[in-house]
Chain A
Amino acid sequence: MKRSANIFLLSLPSLLWLLIFYALPVFIVFLFAFRTSDAYGGIGDKWTLDTVRNLFSPGFSAVIWRTVWLGVVSTALSIVIAVPIAYHLAKMSPKLRNIVLMLIIVPFWTNFLIRIFAWKVFLNPEGILRRTLVLIGLIPEETMLLYNQWAVLAVMVYTYLPYAILPIYAAAEKFDFALLDAAKDLGASSFQGFRKVFLPSISKSIWVAVMVVLIPALGAYLIPDLVGGPTSEMMGDRIAQSVFTERNLPRASALSALLMITVFLPLLLMTALKWIFGKDDEEEESRTMGARS
């Protein structure tokens, strides 16, 4: 009794913090979606459902669809690239591993905006990449590398890849590579060992990486704004537009709420899936933990 009271007291500050600076603002954003807007770009004093009704203007479903597919595909690509990197990182000699880990982390020391602008320079029509590709005839003269969905996708993968690598690497580092020897010994090819022994062993970290990448990817705003063209708008852009250009805060709130729901849905889905399929694992864990203590 006393113990649980203590735990409650200890967690009270963080609970209050979350309540005041997270739950409450989120609630306010949801609330604003149902208010009228006033002439000066502020929040009016009447309730209305018009904003929500008008949300689905023509062309808007395309934005939602683009947001979802860019988010999902960039997440998938990040994971697919991150898993082999993490695998090899874990197998490397500690010396080389530290160097590679540094190379992965060092870009974080540079401002995010500057890194995106670096990509703009890199993908520029007059940039070295396009000119080289045209020169060796890999792409036709009129191909644009910048200001389209593919540029957005590339920069998103570039941005979120480290977030995928780090949790998967953390799991791969704990993986006992002797298990792959055992799999081979039992007749499995290297690929079979990778698929049937390595991947299942690090599956939890892959879920973590999916979460860590998918959520910010769905909310991306700067990347499509800077390297995307008018045809590669994402939800984040629409929200920014509503706030800065249209000066329509209720509309921005409604869009934010929608984005939040879009983000939370896969999260809920995944938790549900984990709860259904991962039940045995957790049971086993608690049992072995009990046996150890």
Chain B
Amino acid sequence: MSDSILQFQNITKRFGSQTVLDNVSLDVGAGEIFSLLGPSGCGKTTLLRICGGFESPDNGRVILDGKDITSLPPNKRAIRTVFQNYALFPHMTVWDNVAFGLKIAGADKETITREAGKYIELVQLTGHEKKKPGQLSGGQRQRVAIARALVNKPKILLLDEPLAALDLKLRQRMLIELDTIHDEVGITFLFVTHDQQEAMSISDHIAVMHNGSVEQVGNPVELYEAPKNSFIAAFIGDTNFFDGIVESVDGEYCTVAIKDFPSLKVYNDKKLKKGDKVNLSIRPEKFSISSTEPRITDAHTNLLRGKVEEVIYLGAHTRYWVRVQDWRISVIKQHFSYALDEKNIRWDDEVWLRFEGDNAYMLERYTQEDENLLALPDI
């Protein structure tokens, strides 16, 4: 990680009796895109507002570039925000919106013309300078908001759910554009989102927040492949949870007894001992599904037998729900070859599931209710 430019130190914030942020500490590296990810109500927006100076924490400090800015008002911080609804000034033109920060800072005319023009060009809005926000599309408005925030060359750009108001295609386009803009200006982006795909695709580091606490900080791959607990495992991507007891330890591996399953051989990354309780997270794509019994060549390969309950064909891959005794396992099969040539696995077929012991991950903490995150929402 590069040098840290922004630090949250033991931030606690209460609204009435409700603790919105509970002793949150984070380090944001200079020049990176850092995401605060979590479901609504997890405190991520409050943390962003504390960073922007719109809320003050009950406890803790915000350090920007080595200086304590906890008690500075928003207009005295070298931090700019792209608000969720953009908050463009409706009575001003695009040009005046972008130039606002420069005028307030007392820049001379020449600087204003040069800088405002530069950032309007950066967000590809040249030619729209005389329009008012009401005449722009959602994507254009957002780009005005970005240019307006960047024009003062802040040390950090805060983005509060910037893509939430856009439709899917535009969202993907803006993600790429945000990444491009980030590469050009090179400042730190602090990105708040509830959408794990957004966060995964754009971030250098992600802090996953839940109920006012940071559950885990890491890069996207770490979060996906090595989730600390069942919340991360279920919130980032999709997974299967299994709980069991360590039967025996064999070097770096161990054997786990799970109800109704043959004993599973998995990598013992938490160094558990015989008799310990264990919770495993196994991602759907880590299973390989076949209608014939696969040959086992490795000592740490596991095999399960089950019956297909559901098949959802999605083009690039197919998702199966496979019943193994009391367990319903989610499995994803990538179609590497022409799918029409493959022998299709259908509903009610007896199948074999194979997975390598290295591909199961032991969770530090498991909470039953996190399984709800895996369920489809109620209609």
Contacts and interface: CB of A to CB of B under 8 A. Distances in A.
**A and B are interacting partners:** yes
A217 B333 CA distance: 80
A25 B52 CA distance: 63
Contacts of B284: none
Interface string A254-287: 0000000000000000000000000000001001
B261 interface: no
A176 B87 contact: yes
A103 interface: no
B83 interface: yes
B91 to A, nearest CB: 5
Contacts of B132: 284
Residue among B52, B90, B105 having the largest count of chain A Cβ atoms under 10 Å: B90
Contact of A178 (B74, B87, B101): B87
Interface in B139-192: 148-149, 152
A66 B100 CA distance: 43
A201 B87 CA distance: 13
Contacts of A183: 89, 100, 104
B135 A182 contact: no
B80 A186 contact: yes
B85 interface: yes
Interface in A146-187: 176, 178-179, 181-187
A192 B149 CA distance: 17
A140 interface: no
Given A181-B54, A284-B135, A287-B135, A188 B87 contact: no
Interface in A31-61: none
A183 B100 CA distance: 8
Nearest to A189: B75
A286 to B, nearest CB: 11
Nearest to A200: B91
Residue among A181, A182, A186, A201 having the largest count of chain B Cβ atoms under 10 Å: A186
Contact of B74 (A176, A181, A288): A181
Nearest to B85: A178
A10 interface: no
Contact of B152 (A176, A182, A187): A187
Contact of B73 (A184, A201, A284): A184
Nearest to A175: B90
Contact of B87 (A181, A196, A291): A181
Interface residues of B, number: 27
A183 B73 CA distance: 12
A176 B53 CA distance: 19
A179 B104 contact: no
A192 B80 CA distance: 17
Query: Which label, helix, strand, loop or mixed, suits the secondary structure of the A interface?
Result: helix
B75 A187 contact: yes
B87 A182 contact: yes
A182 B83 contact: yes
A178 B132 CA distance: 18
B101 to A, nearest CB: 4
B104 A192 contact: yes
A184 B75 contact: yes
Given A185-B52, A201-B91, A288 B83 contact: no
A281 to B, nearest CB: 8
A276 B55 CA distance: 43
B81 interface: yes
Contact of B148 (A186, A201, A284): A186
Contacts of B41: none
A29 interface: no
A185 B104 contact: no
Given A182-B87, A187-B152, A288 B104 contact: no
A197 interface: yes
Contacts of A187: 75, 101, 104-105, 152
Contacts of A189: 75
Nearest to B101: A186
Contacts of B134: 284, 288
Interface in B347-365: none
Contacts of B81: 181-182, 185
Nearest to A179: B87
Interface in B23-65: 52-54
A57 B15 CA distance: 70
Interface string B119-148: 000000000000010110000000000001
Nearest to B130: A280
Given A187-B75, A288-B134, A179 B101 contact: no
B27 to A, nearest CB: 23
Nearest to A287: B135
Contacts of B74: 181, 184-185
A179 B135 contact: no
Nearest to A182: B87
Interface of A: 176, 178-179, 181-189, 192, 196-197, 200-201, 203, 284, 287-288, 291
10 contacts: A181-B74, A182-B81, A182-B88, A182-B89, A184-B54, A188-B75, A188-B100, A196-B100, A200-B92, A201-B90
